[in-house]
A and B are shown apart, each in its own frame.
Chain A
Amino acid sequence: MKEKNLHITLLVLALIAMMFYLFPFALMLLNSLKTTGEFTSNPFAMPTTIQWGNYPYAIAEMHFFTSLKNSLVITVSVCLLIIMLGPMAAYVVSRVKHPFVTFFYYFMIASMCAPFQAYMIPLVKLYASKLGFSNSPIPVIYIGVGLNISFSIFLVRGFLNSIPREIDEAALIDGCGSIRLYFNIIQPMLTPIIITLLVFVAMGVWNDYLLSALFLNTQDKRTLPMMIRVFCAQYSNDYSPMMAGLVMSIMPMLIFYLMGQKHILEGVVQGAIKG
């Protein structure tokens, strides 16, 4: 009986905690289906008639599909490059003991703590002014890879170190070159850690505002987080469509999270041990 009470107490506590973390989303969803008048008079009331119209209006006004496409192009490109280059470099760090490799590896790890603001202005100067990549997703993708590469090497290296060297040895004795060994034998074994890496990087790049805002300045190039900012600033008196826009903009990531949540939570823990 005492144990049953404990279970109920814990469940109630957990439900309260969950409500605290989810109520902003519930409010957003609820108010996206009301008129702006209903929203401002009482945000907690149910809509008198459900205003589905807020959604098509928000989609059209924020050029939702254009910014969705732009976000997708950037995120997919960064992710593909990262999951290709990161594990390859990590393999070298894990297997080749050479001062050149070790030096750069520790330097890269140390650079992970540098605040983005420390090189934000020179990035604009170098890539937009000097190299002429203004209003283009290319520097956003390239720099996105540069910012995530250290973490990806670090993450995959930990996993690689737990793969026994005997596997390398057997293959090499059979006359397999190091590069073929990696692609045929090592890389397939890395799938779980690559998935963790992928979801982690995808979330960061998808939600990035600052880097994209530095390089993309016309509406046809904007990503979703940038679009939210512009939309919320422009339509600052029309709240309900804005709520609909916010719902639309977080939906892709929410779906992605629900599909890969196990790996994301895993990535948080592994990413935290980097200290």
Chain B
Amino acid sequence: MLNAQKKDMWKLILIFFLPAVIIWLTAMVIPFIYGIWISFVKWDGIGDNYTFVSVANYAKLFRNAKFFQSLNRTAVYTLGTVVLSNVVGLALGLLLTSALKARNFFRTTIFVPNVIGGVAMGYIWKYIFHYGFTAVGKNLGIDWLSKSMLSDPTNALIALVVVSSWQLSAYLMIIYVAGFTNVPGDMVEAARVDGASAWSTFWHVRLPMIRSSITICLFLAIVRSFMVFEVNMSLTDGGPYNSTEMIALRIYNTAFVSLKFGDAQAQAVILFIIVALISVLQAYFTSRKEIQL
């Protein structure tokens, strides 16, 4: 740090840094700490009528099969979405860094699903599942496609995975494109000159070189899927028969539909712990490898 800057240091901290810190503290940190307190009380959300119940909300939660079903379902959904979106995103990244002409045009258009929010996306797909796919199914005589996928519990979950991956894969594609762009062209060239096939060049040269992009994309997909809310609400709204209610939607419904704020907050704290653990794992994995994009 420069001497002249030292003189102004506290002025800088006070005027430039403190406002940001205060907003962040009041919008995130204080509510979060307050939330931990709420998870220990019984509160219907109206007025100040709450009673301290210690760990009763958590105890109730651990006896609640529906909560574990929701967590379990979120894990299954996450697994499906992470695999599908990464495989498709990687393939797109490869395609859009190949010798293809108009690569930028394709990158721009394929990314478009990420421009619209989860609510609009869920509704657009809802009508495609209800009327688009059923029309195709009826015309071609495909039985399982003739009735809406969203009305069957298993198919509705698959539909949710497909819609989420449709959007997420286009997002990950951009990160994979950046990864593949940074693989030195002469390395690939050298492998080809030495007689390596296209497949083994991909598998032994290019894929190891984008390892850090893969780590980033995997964790990004895990965290995003675990916290899925908006598309869950608009596409299936948890239905049919609560079979697709993921954990974030469940927290929302417990709080703002059932008005059990303590219960909802206890679930939210559990969700926080899970996501925090995933992030710690991510930090561990990324610190082991040099991040290059």
Which residues of A does B touch, CB under 8 Å?
A: 3, 6-7, 10-11, 13-14, 17-18, 20-22, 24-25, 27-28, 31, 39-40, 42-44, 85-86, 88-89, 91-93, 95-98, 100-101, 104, 108, 110-111, 113-123, 125-126, 142-143, 145-147, 149-150, 153, 165, 168-169, 172-173, 177-179, 182, 203, 206-210, 225, 228-229, 232, 239, 242-243, 246, 249-250, 253-254, 256-257, 261, 264-265, 268-269, 272-273, 275
Contact = CB atoms under 8 A, between A and B. Distances in A.
B27 A88 contact: no
Contact of A165 (B2, B220, B229): B2
A112 B263 CA distance: 24
B59 interface: no
Contacts, number: 279
Contacts of A177: 8
A145 B279 CA distance: 23
B68 interface: no
Contact of B98 (A10, A18, A86, A208): A10
A14 B96 contact: yes
B38 interface: yes
B131 A40 contact: yes
B131 A273 contact: no
Interface string B2-14: 1011001101110
Contact of B175 (A92, A120, A272): A272
B271 interface: yes
A44 B132 contact: yes
Contacts of B12: 91-92, 95-96, 178-179
B223 A253 contact: no
Given A114-B32, A145-B23, 15 more contacts: A14-B102, A21-B110, A39-B131, A40-B131, A96-B13, A100-B13, A113-B276, A114-B272, A116-B227, A117-B227, A121-B265, A179-B15, A242-B127, A264-B111, A275-B215
Contact of B21 (A104, A169, A243): A104
Interface residues of B, number: 95
A21 B13 contact: no
Chain B facing A: main interface SS: helix
B33 to A, nearest CB: 8
A243 B112 CA distance: 18
Contacts of B166: 20-21
Contacts of A168: 2, 5
Interface stretch (B75-83, B114-122, B185-193, B203-211): B114-122
Contacts of B35: 118-119, 121-122
A28 B92 CA distance: 24
B271 A119 contact: no
21 contacts: A14-B96, A17-B92, A21-B170, A24-B124, A25-B112, A42-B135, A92-B13, A96-B13, A104-B21, A113-B275, A114-B272, A119-B31, A121-B264, A126-B30, A142-B26, A150-B24, A178-B8, A179-B8, A250-B115, A275-B219, A275-B291
The 4 closest A-B pairs by CB, nearest first: A146-B27, A207-B117, A172-B4, A89-B20
Interface string B28-45: 111110110010000001
A85 B116 CA distance: 27
A39 B128 CA distance: 11
Q: At the interface, is chain A mostly helix, strand, loop or mixed?
A: helix
B108 A265 contact: yes
Contact of B230 (A14, A17, A95, A209): A209
A108 B227 CA distance: 20
A120 to B, nearest CB: 7
A178 B111 CA distance: 41
Contacts of B219: 275
A272 B269 CA distance: 25
B28 A98 contact: no
Among A31, A104, A147, chain B packs the most CB atoms within 10 A around the CB of: A104
B53 interface: no
B55 interface: no
Nearest to B107: A265
B140 interface: no
B31 A269 contact: no
Contacts of B283: 275
B100 A114 contact: no
B174 interface: yes
Interface stretch (B142-150, B151-159, B247-255): B247-255
Contacts of A229: 119, 233-234
